[in-house]
Amino acid sequence: MHRTSTWTCRARDSLLLLAIIPSLLGAQANARGGAKQQGAAASQADANGIRVGDAVEVLTGFGWTPAKVLAISGNSYRVMTNGIAVTKDYPSEVRRVGGLTARDHAAGQYVLGDNVQVHVQGQWMNGKVVATSGNEYQVAVSGNRTTWAGPENLRPGVAPASPAAPKAGAPPRPGMVSCAGKIEGRYATTGSAMGSFTIRFRSGTATMTDAGGNDEVFECWTAGDRIILRQPSHPNMDMSIDINDDGSLQTPIGEIRKKGS
């Protein structure tokens, strides 16, 4: 009788275990699924383009300080900075590392070098951010002036257009003409502390050869007692040469005289 009772209990326990196992497996699967969903949610950027785990900068009493995002709740971010977990709000206290987005600019965030427009005395002026202090920005504007402004007086600007490079064959100054037929031949130094060099004038061009045998070719223009050597690709590096009364040429690196045709 006792043995039969034992078998009955064992059978009942086995059936109970068989009934419980599917539930346990289902709970484990649900837990794994929930963890995956949480991981996926954490890897997705929020409306501000920031993710959990991102490196950001947060505004503290020491200025903008590196931090790492631990959790996100709307525009509030739990971050770790200098070993301390704190909560900071976007956009006044949190900004991304690296290039800012159009959303960041619209929210009033800028960094050094950004082209902006600043509202000064009732008008918008083009400028560039040259310094920051918290959420205040120093902007350089025309006339060698600077002004400080908050986000409410700033908006994104555009980079100033680069001046067009001069066209080949265009004189550097009004009234100048090609050296062709006017300055011709080979000119060289007769002794210079800066080293020897040669300029060969041919049909409106000038080929300069330094002591190492390296050549550079320039356009040659002249007017009165002045010669200008120009490379159109480097318009800010013109070489100005004076024509002396005796026909020699006074260059920035010494006098040269005609040595041959």
pTM for the whole thing?
Answer: 0.49
> What's the pLDDT tens digit per position in 69-81?
999 999 999 999 9
Q: What's residue 70's pLDDT? A: 97
From the number of C-beta atoms within 10 Å of its C-beta (0-12, 13-18, 19+), residue 75 rates as middle
Of the candidate ranges 31-40, 42-51, 93-102, 188-197, the one whose mean pLDDT is the lowest: 31-40
Handedness of CA 15, 21, 26, 27 (dihedral sign): positive
Of the candidate ranges 21-35, 36-50, 131-145, 176-190, the one whose mean pLDDT is the lowest: 21-35
> What's the pLDDT tens digit per position in 135-183?
999 999 988 899 999 999 999 988 776 655 556 678 888 999 999 999 9
At 1, the pLDDT band (50, 70, 90 cuts) reads very low
Rounded Cα distance between 250 and 216, Å, is: 18
* CA angle, residues 227, 163, 176, in degrees to nearest 5: 20
Rounded Cα distance between 97 and 86, Å, is: 18
> What's the pLDDT tens digit per position in 181-218?
999 999 998 765 555 789 999 999 999 988 778 889 99
Token pair 């550079």: residue: 216
Type of residue at 249: L
Rounded Cα distance between 58 and 92, Å, is: 9
More confident residue, 19 or 233: 233
The CATH code of domain 47-108 reads 2.30.30.140
In the CATH hierarchy, which fold is given to the domain comprising 177-260?
Lipocalin (2.40.128)
In the CATH hierarchy, which fold is given to the domain comprising 110-156?
SH3 type barrels. (2.30.30)
Q: What's residue 17's pLDDT? A: 47
Q: For the chain, which residues make up each domain, given as ranges? A: 47-108, 110-156, 177-260
At 7, the pLDDT band (50, 70, 90 cuts) reads very low
CB-based contacts of 47, cutoff 8 Å, min separation 6: none
Q: What's residue 14's pLDDT? A: 53
The mean pLDDT of 35-53, rounded to a whole number, is: 73
Rounded Cα distance between 86 and 180, Å, is: 74
Q: What's residue 40's pLDDT? A: 47
> What's the pLDDT tens digit per position in 212-260?
788 899 999 999 999 999 988 887 788 999 999 999 999 888 889 999 8
The mean pLDDT of 56-84, rounded to a whole number, is: 95
Q: What's residue 95's pLDDT? A: 94
Q: What's residue 25's pLDDT? A: 55
Judge whether 47-108 and 110-156 match in fold. Answer: yes
